[in-house]
Amino acid sequence: MDVGGSAFKAAPVDLRTGKTLQAAHVVPSSAPCTWAQGMAAMRELARRFPWCDRIGIGFPGVVREGRTGVVSLLGADWEKLDLARLVTRATKHRTRVINDADAAGLAEMTFGAGRGVRGTVLMLTLGTGIGSALFYDGRLVPNLELGEIPWRGRPIELFASARVRAKRGLDWRDWAERVNVVIEIAEKLTSPELIILGGGVSAEAEKWFRYLRSRTQIVAAKLRNEAGIVGAALAWR
């Protein structure tokens, strides 16, 4: 399952190949989202694939050993919960939970654009918010929340996310200039050898990648918008 600000999505995943075995089922949602709405969505997703014996969840917030920490996108309802235990109880499926950007990064490092890359790799996911995942020699540094960096008094994801582009009607060039601000800060903080950009907008890279500026090589996520689902399943590896 990939939990986002606009939808909860799920698909069965073959962990050997990273391929989804059926088309993802989508339950539309909003951000913030109440706990009751979210649990109803997750129960519906679990019923769609009853033959799956385990659930992995990519969750938009800090996650430690299945428990949530600070959650800005979905709202305070979701903070300080033993989410893995609660979903296991609600769906009757064993569950593991990781940060959603960490999930997408794991998928790209295992099956996608980061596979075999040594050194420091940074993945940024551009969607309702901005997620980030950092790897060194393939090992994950969990819960890196670069989208929460203050910018003009607010989290930078409220300045440069894909939702901001759509809400403000920004053209690709103007929005890419905002993404450049995020990239510049992220480069100074992490000094990566490679930056992978994911989220739904990665499928339209030809429209805006030419406006990006970086000292680091930038590539689009190969798994596109499925990276979050595939990476959530990889929580079981």
Position 79 scores a pLDDT of: 93
Position 72 scores a pLDDT of: 79
Burial of 67 (0-12, 13-18, 19+ CB in 10 A): middle
Q: Return all residues near 111 (Cβ < 8 A) that are at least 6 apart.
A: 17, 18, 222, 223, 230
Domains (range + CATH), the chain: 2-99 (3.30.420.40), 103-227 (3.30.420.40)
* Residue 43 vs residues 8, 40, 93, 122, 148: alpha-carbon distances, Å: 11, 5, 10, 33, 30
Position 178 scores a pLDDT of: 98
- What is the mean pLDDT of each successive set of 10 residues along the chain, which is 237 residues long? 92 95 93 91 94 93 92 88 95 95 97 96 94 96 94 96 96 98 97 95 94 96 92 94
Q: Return all residues near 36 (Cβ < 8 A) that are at least 6 apart.
A: none
Position 237 scores a pLDDT of: 86
